[in-house]
Chain A
Amino acid sequence: MSCCGTNPGYEELDEVSRLVSTKLAAFLKTLREAGFAVGPREGQDAAALMAAGFAEKPGLLRSALKHLFSARKSDWDKFDGLFDAFWLGKRVRSRSLTMGSAQGANSPSLKSLQDRKSEPTAGDAATDQVPSSDDAPDGRAGEGRMEGASRAENLSEIDFRNMADPDQIEQAHDVARQLARSMRTRLTRRDLARRRGYRLDLRRTIHGNISHGGVPISLVKRQHKAKPLRLVMLLDASGSMSMYTGVFLRFIHGVLDEFREAEAFLFHTRLAYVSDAMKEKDAARALDRLSIMAQGAGGGTKIGESLQTFNRWHAARVIHSRTCVMIVSDGYETGDAALLGREMAALAKRCRRIVWLNPMMAWQGYTPEAAGIKAALPYVDLYAPANTLKSLTELEPYLAKL
């Protein structure tokens, strides 16, 4: 902390470090509210960094703390903005901070913390940086709030048919995520139960039988690890599906998050690969990026052509022997229905199962009369409605059987 010219006395030094650590604790709190996973250890390390002279220049401190506090790309990208707003935005120069000037003590975030201990673990009531923390029902406050933000943004854009209540949509996301999670654990357990083995593992057999003087009495076998189920989702984002797109986007986000292997595509008049865009941990940002892709050009649904693109360019990469392709569409093909039939046939040869989810199916009096769905149905293994959360949950046993 000896960055300034004058040599402060011990009392003054204590004061300085107290102020710095209080301010640092407030910063940690801000970060935690922004979704960063920072704990006491990071706080200690940050204090150590400041003591080691990293606090001399704001740029240097920012870069150092960025490495320390970020844990993923989304953190990395937003850190600079948060740092500048917190440390530099209020005309508090870091130099004056290290000198412990009154200016530092006057900053509002500090004031609210003055009567508190400087431990960065303080997980209690809010500083002035938090708009509201009472609406989060449980400990996962940050997460809940992020989803809340996205909820507000998407509502204004997408109109779900019967689901206008924000709470319900929130629930849609949660159920989708839980579904994906439960499917995943079930798959894992199945893998373990089946592991009986057909090939001798010579190395382990010898090792295990050293106690018998090397005579192989108990055998160790091995088997190829079963490939986990891969789920490839193709979501129809055309106008006729617009009431459902939002819910399914959330479902896909949950699936990509929780499944070990999953890929997602959107199609309307053309096909777009969206897994990368959706791997964003922050749901709000992922959906933001997607809504741009999902908008696309209005004017029909070319399922056949989109599938052709998929078969030609993506299938070889994303489909392996244990892949389930899930198409979510109403089957209103505005292109060539015969082409759709041909492409479905090609797809059926490649993958293990094709599930076609049609939200319209549950409508009263619906029969699959659209030319598209008629051409596609012969190749579909499971044709199911998916207009409620319950019907989505009912898919689980089917997927687990694969």
Chain B
Amino acid sequence: MKKKVNDTLKALVFVLILILLLTGVSYLMMPRDNTEQQWKHDVSANAFRAEPEDTLDVLFFGDSEVYTNIMPLRIWSAEGITSYCVSSSKQNLWYTFQLMLDALQTQSPKIIFLEANAIFRYFTMDNFLLHGSELFFPVLKYHDRWKTISFSDLTAQTQYTYIHNEKGYHFSKDIDPADTTHYGAPTKKMKQVSMVNRLYVQAIKSLCDRYHVRLVLLSTPSTKSWNMSKHNSAESMAKALGVEYLDLNLLQEEVPIDWSHDTRDKGDHLNIYGANKVSVYLAHYLRDTGLFADHREDPAYSVWNKAVEAFVKKHAAARTFDWS
């Protein structure tokens, strides 16, 4: 009996020391800046970290449908509301959750949009366990930094310096028309959402509630990534969660996407012309909520006006439409 107790104690002490070691190593391996050199992955999505505290009114999370279809600078120029696309290619909900958790440490958005495409993206139990553990032991996520880490990195204070001028938006002026034959074909079917994804959406809702943020499920226009079975499923999920579901694919009058001109890749993603239409609609939608003040004349937000100027100056395509 005594041996059993001894052995159990030894095992517990071993695990405890291991947890301490992993915590210590995690601290050492954490990036000290959000520059490409240090962060390595999804730099534009992670550039929200360098935004001044509590300056972002709205955050958009999700996959490439977000960073191609939504232009935070256009929302700013239309209504003076600050927003950011915290989105990355094929973003999984575990990643959305991690990013959201981080964002809410420094920002106090009033609305968070979750692009519904992400809720249908299947990921394995392995991903769930590994990325869930990353929340406790960031070394599991940043371990590959051993390749570039310097001694001074180990002791340096964390300071995020990289600001993405386009606030997470990925510019494209390419035009590659879409075939819209089956776009929006009616169906009563509901695209299945995995059990793990349902749990994650629930966790995201709880996180928003904890920080008093309104969660909105959003579908941006796409002939490829969206269909009615996804709509039905997202609508039902939104209803169950008690949140709004905003499907821009069904608002073809309010968001008049010209699929022969406004898409960069045959309907999967929008180009700047389509993104402009979506962003203007979203700006008006946000204004109508009555939650936001117009910051355009506020000197504290003058960098946003400069960012718009720089963007328009840089991209000729951005000069083809009115920015007011």
Does chain A bind chain B?
Answer: no
Q: Which residues of A come within 8 Å of B, CB atoms?
A: none
Q: Which residues of B come within 8 Å of A, CB atoms?
A: none
